[in-house]
Amino acid sequence: MAIENTRGLKLGARAQIESNISFKLVSKNACIILGDSVFVGRNSIFDISQKLSIGDRVLIAPNCFITDHNHNILSGSRIVDQGITEAPVAIGDDAWIGANVCILPGVKIGKGAVIGAGAVVTQSIPDLCVAVGVPARVIRKREPC
């Protein structure tokens, strides 16, 4: 049975959340959905203005940062006055996000994908692919179960 709080956070059954996790919902309509049996490692930050959806049985190692928005950076005006650009983030079932990974706006991590430690994910990663590096790039495909 899922748990939902009044701030747009939905936790699936058996979700395990370690200590010092930050769920930063920066707009009144922001929503974070964690599926069943999700694990989130300590010191991870979810900075969401629109939507983050995480499938079932996803493993998120410590110190990860996931955001669905960026500040605009046009010349001629202060960054703080320019607003943000948003795009939802989705992580498919059975994905594994390694330690210290950064996932940026608009990214979709496919089902069964693996993101190596320290990667910065700027583009979507297909199902069952292993991606590493800065920026993250696919280095191989996993066999289906």
Whether residue 86 is predicted with pLDDT greater than 50 in this model: the reply is: yes
Residues 6+ apart with CB under 8 A from 80: 71
What per-residue confidence (pLDDT) applies to 7?
Answer: 67
What per-residue confidence (pLDDT) applies to 74?
Answer: 87
- Side chain identity at 29, as an amino acid letter? N
Domains of the chain and CATH, by start: 3-141 (2.160.10.10)
* The model's pTM: 0.92
pLDDT tens sequence across 48-61? 999 999 999 999 99
3-state helix, strand, coil in the chain (%, to 5): 0, 40, 55
pLDDT tens sequence across 6-46? 468 899 999 999 999 999 998 989 999 999 999 999 999 99
User: Does the annotation count 69 as an active-site position?
Assistant: no
- Catalytic residue selected from 71, 140, 141, 142: 71
